[in-house]
């Protein structure tokens, strides 16, 4: 972490990317970086991902929402805004109760792998192949599990040399983790 970045934790009030006052509800750090090929070495992602939900916008009007930011873009509020926040909380118990009850929407993570599907192969054939390779993806697969299955399947023949005309998108719902790695539970085929 850079020395000028103040570490934030769950329940801290912060400024995030979007304007307003936010409260941190989740922090992710030290997860495995995504690999896009088995030849790439395992690395730990040193970024801290900060999930926060907004209480008020820049006009100090209630504006519930949530977002994800890298810690380098999150700052602690000024002393003036901290005092203003304390006053706002004291004067608006109903809004604070609604804020506490607000459930942030899931913020999914995606991993895209390029494909070069031959013109003679139709989209339906590729979708069947994907279904055959990943029939149990709903149970969850790791990054390595996905790469291993691709390497052992006909999908390996679709690895682009230069041209790509399709993408395999794997979805990790709400940044779900298992053993410091992302757990993917959905696959989509995107054709150009």
Same domain, 116 and 156: yes
Would the pTM of this model clear 0.85, i.e. be above it? yes
Give tens-digit pLDDT for 76-99. Answer: 999 999 999 999 999 999 999 999
Q: Tokens 């390029």 correspond to what residue?
A: 114
Residue 120 structure tokens: 């003679």
Closest to 191 (Cα-Cα) out of 133, 135, 122: 122
Q: Is the pLDDT of residue 3 over 90?
A: no
* Domains held by the chain: number: 2
Position 1 in a domain: no
Give tens-digit pLDDT for 110-152. Answer: 999 999 998 899 899 999 999 999 999 999 999 999 999 999 9
Same domain, 92 and 18: yes
Phi, psi values for residue 67, rounded to 5°: -155, 170
Range of the domain at 55: 13-101
Contacts of 89 (CB under 8 A, 6+ apart): 96
Give start and end residues of each alpha helix (H) in 48-122: 79-91, 93-101
Residue 67, classified by CB atoms within 10 Å of its CB into exposed (0-12), middle (13-18) or buried (19+), is: middle
Give tens-digit pLDDT for 67-78. Answer: 999 999 999 999
Same domain, 38 and 72: yes
């Amino acid at each position: 972490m850079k020395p000028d970045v103040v570490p934030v934790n769950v329940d801290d009030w912060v400024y995030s990317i979007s304007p307003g006052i936010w409260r941190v509800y989740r922090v992710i750090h030290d997860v495995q970086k995504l690999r896009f090929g088995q030849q790439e070495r395992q690395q730990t992602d040193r970024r801290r991902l900060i999930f926060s939900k907004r209480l008020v916008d820049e006009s100090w009007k209630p504006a519930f929402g949530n977002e994800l930011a890298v810690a380098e873009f999150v700052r602690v509020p000024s002393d003036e805004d901290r005092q203003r926040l304390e006053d706002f909380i004291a004067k608006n118990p109903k809004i604070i109760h609604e804020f506490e009850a607000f459930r942030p929407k899931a913020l999914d993570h995606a991993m895209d792998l390029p494909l070069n599907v031959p013109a003679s192969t139709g989209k339906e054939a590729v979708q069947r192949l994907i279904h055959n390779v990943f029939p149990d993806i709903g149970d969850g697969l790791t990054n390595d599990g996905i790469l291993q299955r691709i390497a052992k399947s006909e999908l390996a023949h679709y690895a682009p040399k230069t041209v790509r005309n399709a993408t395999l998108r794997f979805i990790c719902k709400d940044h779900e983790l298992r053993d410091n790695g992302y757990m993917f539970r959905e696959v989509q085929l995107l054709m150009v």
